[in-house]
Amino acid sequence: MCAQTLLTGQTLTFSGDPLVTPWAEAVQINSAGGVLLDGARIVAVGDARALRAAHPQARHIDYGRDLICPGFVDAHVHYPQTAMIASWGKRLIDWLATYTFPEEARFADPDYAALIAARYLDLTAAQGTTTVASFATVHPGSVDALFAAAAQRGQCVVTGKTCMDRNAPDDLRDTAQSAYDDSKALIARWQGKGRAQYAITPRFSPTSTPDQLRALGALWAEHPDCLMQTHLSEQPDEVAWVRTLYPQARDYLDTYEAHGLLGARGLYGHAIHLTPREIDRLAEVQGRVIHCPTSNAFIGSGALDLMALARRGVPLGLATDTGGGSSFSMLHTMAAAYEAGQHHGQALHAAQLMWLATQGSARSLHLEGEIGSLAAGRFADLAVLDLASTPAIAQRANRSADVWEDVFATIMMGDDRAVRATWIGGACVTG
């Protein structure tokens, strides 16, 4: 039996980083392209006609004018916040206390965690998202739930137990020791099993004591192959609070660095209100900044100056930050990144936005050798986008001078109706 499948359509490929080289040199769309899948992997990418001739035995699916692109990689989310997305009227610290912590407490029940994990992966697959880096809750079972649901789908996810030993309700607090022990046990259970990637996960400096940050820094040193994910400088009130909690620290980033939690495999969500020293230090160690523009707008955190960080050489990824973010859609998130850029006089091109949502985020997670591009050897994790998915988008696309105008209209106005199909590990899971 033939295990090969040839997908033809318009194909999006990368040959560089369009944030640091001209986008037209780094990103290509082949209007008559093809992607050959064999099992879970991509084995060839090229011209449709040549691939058809060379692989006549392959099952053929023709997507016509649709854009075949790498599946979206959402580099910072909270899957446990799925059911409380779009909660009204609060800024960060009140929003956490009012909406987030009560919802996260429900994840003490493994059945509830399993229900939401499955729901979350279904909702995001419908949006073309194929990999996420998610915070779990303080409960180890919430990590098991997401990894198990992802394994069932053959899907790569990054997650980790959220650690908090202060400034959180009693039923959501661990200790420095239990955070270390539980995280270590989860690493032994999951890291590198199938497509599972563990991230050591201190929520943020205000909800950890220095002892807990130190314990997690020691754990990361023992498991340097793991990622580490946290939050950094999201709102000015939060930054001021960190200053009172860590009076010795030079700045917010230093609260992590002083405890062994700064490095290239570190993912720092938001990072809007940074000092020049923090930017220099992130660039020096290649710490990853994850841009969360829908969340930054929704919670009123501000507009990140993404290109200023890119110019300094800070590696960048893109994320919804659900449920602080107001959407599960990476198309909406790209639109919000465009709008945030406009606040700083930077009009990000559609090619740059698509790169951020795929290869850029994959690189943030150190997974660019596995996901985030259409290239031989990568997992066949794909999104297929209808570039005329609604009457409003179709009439705009009719006026387009080139395909990039079509892509931009879908970024700005598209939603899950634009996602014709999502492929994960060589299997079509929607559409």
| Residues of span 2-61 touching ligand GUN by CB under 6 A | none
Residue nearest ligand GUN, CB atom distance: 324
Please name which of 317, 298, 297 lies closest in space to residue 306, comparing C-alpha atoms: 317
- Other beta carbons within 10 angstroms of residue 106's beta carbon come to 17
Of residues 17, 74, 251, 321, which one binds ligand GUN by CB under 6 A? 321
By beta-carbon proximity to Zn ion, the closer residue of 18 and 269 is: 269
For 310, 317, 326, the CA distances from 341, given in Å and listed in that order, are 12, 15, 18
Q: Would you say 101 and 168 are in contact if contact means Cβ atoms under 8 Å apart? A: yes
For 97, 172, 252, 301, the CA distances from 238, given in Å and listed in that order, are 14, 20, 10, 10
Site string for Zn ion, 252-271 (x = CB under 5 A): -----------------x--
By beta-carbon proximity to ligand GUN, the closer residue of 215 and 232 is: 232
Of residues 295, 320, 329, 361, which one binds ligand GUN by CB under 6 A? 295
Q: How many Å is the maximal CA-CA distance in the chain?
A: 67
Q: Which stretch binds Zn ion (CB under 5 A): 110-118, 215-223, 316-324, 380-388?
A: 316-324
Of residues 234, 370, 381, 386, which one binds ligand GUN by CB under 6 A? 234
Give a three-class secondary structure readout of 131-159: EEEEECCCCHHHHHHHHHHHHHCCCCEEE
Site string for Zn ion, 59-98 (x = CB under 5 A): ----------------------------------------
By beta-carbon proximity to Zn ion, the closer residue of 254 and 321 is: 321
Q: Which does 11 bind (CB under 5 to 8 A by kind): Zn ion, ligand GUN, none?
A: none
Q: Which does 349 bind (CB under 5 to 8 A by kind): Zn ion, ligand GUN, none?
A: none
By beta-carbon proximity to Zn ion, the closer residue of 269 and 414 is: 269
Please name which of 287, 263, 270 lies closest in space to residue 236, comparing C-alpha atoms: 270
Determine if 324 is a binding residue for ligand GUN (CB under 6 A). yes
DSSP letters for 347-367: ---HHHHHHIIIIIHHHHTT-
CB of 253 to ligand GUN, least distance (A): 15
CB of 164 to ligand GUN, least distance (A): 9
Determine if 203 is a binding residue for ligand GUN (CB under 6 A). yes
Instruction: State the Cα–Cα distance between residues 351 and 28, nearest whole angstrom.
Output: 8
The crossing angle, in degrees rounded to 10, of helices 140-152 and 176-190 is: 20
CB of 77 to ligand GUN, least distance (A): 10
Q: Which does 204 bind (CB under 5 to 8 A by kind): ligand GUN, Zn ion, none?
A: ligand GUN
CB of 105 to ligand GUN, least distance (A): 13
Dihedral of alpha carbons 14, 124, 140, 203, sign = positive
Q: Which does 195 bind (CB under 5 to 8 A by kind): Zn ion, ligand GUN, none?
A: none
Tell me the backbone φ, ψ of residue 32, rounded to 5 degrees.
-135, 65
At 100, the amino acid letter reads T
Of residues 104, 321, 370, 416, which one binds Zn ion by CB under 5 A? 321
Q: Which stretch binds Zn ion (CB under 5 A): 56-64, 116-124, 141-149, 320-328?
A: 320-328
Determine if 161 is a binding residue for ligand GUN (CB under 6 A). no
Determine if 241 is a binding residue for ligand GUN (CB under 6 A). no
By beta-carbon proximity to Zn ion, the closer residue of 77 and 126 is: 77
Peptide bond into 302 cis (omega under 30): no
Q: Is 142 left (phi over 0), alpha (psi -120 to 50) or beta?
A: alpha
Q: Would you say 207 and 179 are in contact if contact means Cβ atoms under 8 Å apart? A: no
For 25, 102, 246, 310, 404, the CA distances from 356, given in Å and listed in that order, are 16, 33, 33, 11, 15
| Residues of span 75-104 touching ligand GUN by CB under 6 A | 78, 92, 96, 100
Tokens describing residue 67: 């854009």
By beta-carbon proximity to ligand GUN, the closer residue of 138 and 353 is: 138
CB of 194 to ligand GUN, least distance (A): 27
Instruction: State the Cα–Cα distance between residues 192 and 224, nearest whole angstrom.
Output: 13
By beta-carbon proximity to ligand GUN, the closer residue of 234 and 368 is: 234
Residues engaged in binding ligand GUN (CB under 6 A): 78, 92, 96, 100, 203-204, 231, 234, 295, 321, 324
- Interface contacts to Zn ion, rule CB under 5 A: 269, 321
